[in-house]
Amino acid sequence: MDQLFISLLLQDEATLIGINVVLIIAGGIAAAFFLDVKITYRRVEYLWFIALSGLALTISQFLWALTPAAADAGLLSILIIVGMGSFALFGAAIYYASAARSRHICGQTSNAWLGFVPLANLWLIFKGGATSAYDPDKVRSKLSRLFPDPILVIGAIVVLALSQGIDKAVEYKGYYDPNDSEVLVSLIANAQTVEERFATEAKLSGAELPVRIDELTILSKIEAQGETLRITYDVEQDIFSFRPDFKLTLATMQCAPEMFGPDIARGGTIEMIYRAPGGRIIETYKITQSDCIP
């Protein structure tokens, strides 16, 4: 079961976003069937509910920091179900708030679906309500509408901005390091064939190239060809060759578990090409299983 769920997590970013959107919509649909919303929400109440729900969703994603520990404990499947299930709960929260807001505007929940449509949901935010018609107890003075509400709106916007800031910070640093768990590293390695693993690596890492490694070396290209991952470096100095033990140094690095050790153990090859400024090949090194044997 863990292997199945880890395969899900290894999908590209666009696919994961699509899955999360589907879960949000599914949660909203389930809520529409099971929740009978009787209350009404004013505009500011609706905005605050959505802002706090978004913040709760953001905070819930810190569960992913427990991924290595969950893998070691055999609880990875449960963690993934809870982590992704939070998006369905967020969808249910959107429906609840949108239904309450729809009742405040027109007396029924039929427009709650607008809460799931970008831009269309602005109607729920800005449309004035008929409070006196559907909930007389909520009739408010003009002063109470003009003074507290703008402050509450600003507060809700701050909460929304906080959620976005947390998302950006986590996106930059990541929730966890897979290398903190040997079990997780093994699950990730076995979730894809060597060809798929190298193709994914080439796609993700290639998007960030070129990258300067040191004052003389630039990582310029990564290509996947079957079970071979070809890494090309450009050396900004016209040298004839490297020292004899340089391949051993490269093998020690590439055979490490946090690098490509598990992939090499399954038959993968890391081919490293070093080019001089004029395009001349200085050296080509191939790291295979035999190079990883201590």
Q: State residue 143's pLDDT score.
A: 46
pLDDT in tens, 187-204: 877 778 899 889 988 887
Contact 162, 55 (CB under 8 A): yes
Co-location of 12 and 104 in the same domain: yes
Nearest Cα to Cα of residue 190 among 5, 11, 7 = 7
Co-location of 59 and 150 in the same domain: yes
Q: Dihedral sign, CA of 173, 269, 72, 13? A: positive
Co-location of 7 and 101 in the same domain: yes
Residue 217: pLDDT band by 50, 70, 90 thresholds?
very high
Nearest Cα to Cα of residue 180 among 62, 66, 68 = 68
Separation of alpha carbons 261 and 6, rounded Å: 19
Separation of alpha carbons 178 and 71, rounded Å: 10
Co-location of 135 and 179 in the same domain: yes
Give me the number of domains the chain comprises.
2
On the question of pLDDT at 142 being above 70, the answer is no
On the question of pLDDT at 172 being above 60, the answer is no
Separation of alpha carbons 108 and 116, rounded Å: 17
Co-location of 96 and 52 in the same domain: yes
Contact 140, 131 (CB under 8 A): yes
Q: State residue 150's pLDDT score.
A: 63
List the domain range (segments joined by +) for residue 287: 192-292
Q: State residue 157's pLDDT score.
A: 78
Co-location of 182 and 63 in the same domain: yes
Co-location of 253 and 167 in the same domain: no
Contact 28, 94 (CB under 8 A): yes
Co-location of 159 and 27 in the same domain: yes
Co-location of 6 and 113 in the same domain: yes
pLDDT in tens, 21-31: 999 999 999 99
> Of 188, 219, 250, which residue is a domain's last?
188
Separation of alpha carbons 140 and 45, rounded Å: 14
Sheet holding 281-287, edge to edge: 211-212, 217-225, 228-235, 269-275, 281-287
pLDDT in tens, 82-97: 999 999 999 999 999 9
How are beta strands 269-275 and 217-225 bridged, if at all? unpaired
10 Å CB burial of residue 100 (0-12, 13-18, 19+) is buried
Co-location of 157 and 224 in the same domain: no
> Of 162, 188, 214, which residue is a domain's last?
188
Co-location of 139 and 250 in the same domain: no
Co-location of 175 and 283 in the same domain: no
On the question of pLDDT at 131 being above 70, the answer is no
Separation of alpha carbons 270 and 282, rounded Å: 17
Beta-bridged to residue 211, according to DSSP, are 219
Contact 116, 25 (CB under 8 A): yes
Beta-bridged to residue 225, according to DSSP, are 228
> Of 134, 155, 188, which residue is a domain's last?
188
Contact 67, 176 (CB under 8 A): yes
Beta-bridged to residue 228, according to DSSP, are 225, 269
What's this model's pTM, rounded to 2 decimal places?
Answer: 0.69
**CATH number of the structural domain spanning residue 232:** 3.30.300.250
